[in-house]
Amino acid sequence: MSRIPFPTRGPLLAVLLACAAMTVVFAASDPKAALPAEARKTAEALRDGAVRGTRAAEWVRGLTDTAGHRLAGSPGDRLGVAWATETLRAQGFANVRAEKVMVKVWKRGVETGEVTAPHRHRLVLTALGGSVATPEGGLEAEVLEVPSLEALDAKGEAARGKIVFFNKRMERRSDGADYVRAVDVRSGGAARAAKHGAVGVLIRSIGTDDTRHPHTGGTRYETTVPKIPAAALAGPDADLLERLGRLGGPVRVRFTLGCGDAPAAESANVIGEIRGREAAREVVLLGAHLDSWDVGTGAVDDAAGCGIVIEAARLIGQLPRPPRRTIRVVLFANEEHGLDGGNAYARDHAAELPLHTAALEADSGTGAPLGMSWTAGAAAEPVVKEIAGLLEPIGVRTLSPGSFGGADIYQLRKAGVPLFSFQQDMLRYFDLHHTDNDTFDKIDPHALDRMVAAVAVFAHSAASASHPFARIPEDQRQITPF
């Protein structure tokens, strides 16, 4: 995840909007059964079997070790598409295909930084995705430190000719909810600073670690102002700039970025299905994004999500009796740098979206599930509550209205497709997110198994319910452009 819509996106908006909404703790009493008895029994068996162990971590390892990082248009992106296609076919998925998606391409280059006054220090930084390069030989200017976009606006003309340093700290929380407050300086800082005449932007990494692993992520430019180079500082290096600023004299920084856009390239959404029985044309979509940033190997963001949805569907495919509806796994292209895969899917499958009965995206890392959120018509509530009740034994304690669903499936809201998401334990997620430290060794197989259990129960129940979920009402289908 990286580019931010209203008010954020990627793995988080599903989490954050749900956290902001009313949260309901499950009642102890059983609701009137909304699922067929056979479906409940099968869901319980899927849940208990997954908790005992799954192959999800194996799929994460296969993707990251085979393809490495998977920035859109890179060799790793192509290897990831090939790996996913081969894996789904080998595991018995039906109708496996790689649907062409043209993706935006951006390439990272040389990255250096140093404080030149009042004392020389090397800085560890990384370009924000989509950033333009610095002039040849680098960019040097005095630093203007501000804590927020609003504080920059208050400074106004003081930013002219300077490098704006957004020093906005993110707080560690198990629900990851502070991301929405902190991330606006990454997504909009460069454009805002350019409006005030700044020549460059540095931000404190949007993360919660204290390592020298800076966090990348997308930034957005505006057509009415110049594009200026933008980079993220590792936390300790941001601390250094903060301390030097307190000395009272001017602080100067030089940094060099060799990044820039490249021509669009071909990638793909990789799709495979567990075909349903009598209602096979109806689809329950399980999504994750196949791409990653070019730092680390994208194990947590989002090979973990790929592993979760592949394994949940695979387990359902092994059942002696398939569910009523088809379960479709979609591994989306280029979530991080343009949402090209999600947009392409919504466009290319527009005619069949009325038959999409539910959609869920896994994009919150390797943590165990803590809660579930949903957006659908009111008549869906009884079966949603019953599904949530099935997950209480594995730690899914809350059910919240108002699910965003996920960045790649958000567009489906316009067609009224019911959207669902799980809130995961994200205490360490933002230590790793968009850094060189996002590698396979950070995967927690046991927590991943619990997420597989949750997604398998949801998917099988949604695909087996006597009636599809009530669709999102017409007056709630509006979306905010990313």
Looking at residue 22, what is its pLDDT?
Answer: 38
What would the two tokens of residue 451 be?
A: 């997420």
Looking at residue 24, what is its pLDDT?
Answer: 43
Question: Are 326 and 425 members of one domain?
Answer: yes
* Best CA proximity match to 424, nearest among 402, 461, 394: 394
Of 20-34, 50-64, 250-264, 419-433, the poorest mean pLDDT is in 20-34
Q: Which structural domain, as residue segments, surrounds residue 294?
A: 11-105+263-476
Name the one residue in this structure whose structure tokens are 């200026």.
228
Q: What are phi and psi of 71, to 5 degrees?
A: -60, 140
Domain assignment present for 3: no
Looking at residue 481, what is its pLDDT?
Answer: 73
What would the two tokens of residue 168 be?
A: 């906005």
Question: Are 58 and 22 members of one domain?
Answer: yes
Task: Tell me: pLDDT of 8 over 70.
Answer: no
Domain assignment present for 482: no
Of 13-17, 102-106, 116-120, 312-316, the poorest mean pLDDT is in 13-17
Total number of domains constituting the chain: 2
Task: Tell me: pLDDT of 405 over 60.
Answer: yes
Q: What is the pLDDT of residues 275-309, one digit of tens each?
A: 999 999 999 999 999 999 999 999 999 999 999 99
Domain assignment present for 131: yes
Question: Are 295 and 369 members of one domain?
Answer: yes
Domain final residue pick, 258, 291, 321: 258
> 161 Cβ partners below 8 Å, 6+ apart?
141, 142, 197, 198, 199
Question: Are 254 and 393 members of one domain?
Answer: no
Looking at residue 1, what is its pLDDT?
Answer: 55
* Best CA proximity match to 126, nearest among 224, 230, 264: 230
Domain assignment present for 408: yes
* Best CA proximity match to 363, nearest among 316, 308, 414: 308
* Best CA proximity match to 329, nearest among 350, 295, 306, 349: 306
pLDDT top residue among 126 and 19: 126
Looking at residue 482, what is its pLDDT?
Answer: 58
CA–CA distance, 93 with 310 (Å, rounded to integer) = 9
Domain assignment present for 2: no
Task: Tell me: pLDDT of 23 over 90.
Answer: no
Domain assignment present for 272: yes
Q: What is the pLDDT of residues 310-358, one digit of tens each?
A: 999 999 999 999 999 999 999 999 999 999 999 999 999 999 999 999 9
- 427 pLDDT band, cuts 50/70/90, is very high
Q: What is the pLDDT of residues 187-216, one digit of tens each?
A: 999 999 999 999 999 999 999 999 999 999
Of 13-22, 89-98, 384-393, 399-408, the poorest mean pLDDT is in 13-22
What would the two tokens of residue 28 be?
A: 């102890």
Question: Are 290 and 201 members of one domain?
Answer: no
Of 17-26, 140-149, 411-420, the poorest mean pLDDT is in 17-26
CA–CA distance, 267 with 65 (Å, rounded to integer) = 19
**Helix or strand or coil: residue 245?**
helix
Domain assignment present for 174: yes
Helix (H) or strand (E) holding 99: strand 94-107
Task: Tell me: pLDDT of 19 over 90.
Answer: no
The pTM assigned to this predicted structure is: 0.94
What would the two tokens of residue 345 be?
A: 């899917």
> 414 Cβ partners below 8 Å, 6+ apart?
346, 477, 478, 479
Looking at residue 120, what is its pLDDT?
Answer: 98
Looking at residue 32, what is its pLDDT?
Answer: 52
Check which CATH number belongs to the domain holding 365 and give it.
Answer: 3.40.630.10
- Percentage above 70 pLDDT, the chain: 93
16: amino acid identity, one letter: L
Domain final residue pick, 207, 229, 258: 258
Question: Are 166 and 289 members of one domain?
Answer: no
* Residues annotated as catalytic (active site), given as ranges: 335
Domain final residue pick, 220, 240, 258: 258
DSSP string, 418-451: -EEEEEE--TTHHHHTTSTT--GGG--HHHHHHH
Task: Tell me: pLDDT of 394 over 80.
Answer: yes
CA–CA distance, 30 with 114 (Å, rounded to integer) = 62
Task: Tell me: pLDDT of 409 over 70.
Answer: yes
Question: Are 366 and 446 members of one domain?
Answer: yes
Domain assignment present for 250: yes
CA–CA distance, 15 with 394 (Å, rounded to integer) = 18
Mean pLDDT within 398-420: 96
Question: Are 148 and 229 members of one domain?
Answer: yes
Helix (H) or strand (E) holding 464: helix 445-464
Q: Count other Cβ atoms within 10 Å, centred on residue 303.
A: 32
CA–CA distance, 441 with 374 (Å, rounded to integer) = 32
Question: Are 224 and 130 members of one domain?
Answer: yes
Question: Are 303 and 249 members of one domain?
Answer: no
Check which CATH number belongs to the domain holding 242 and give it.
Answer: 3.50.30.30
Looking at residue 35, what is its pLDDT?
Answer: 95
Q: What is the pLDDT of residues 145-173, one digit of tens each?
A: 999 999 999 999 999 999 999 999 999 99
pLDDT top residue among 26 and 405: 405
Mean pLDDT within 21-40: 60
Average pLDDT, the chain: 93
Question: Are 138 and 274 members of one domain?
Answer: no
Question: Are 94 and 208 members of one domain?
Answer: no
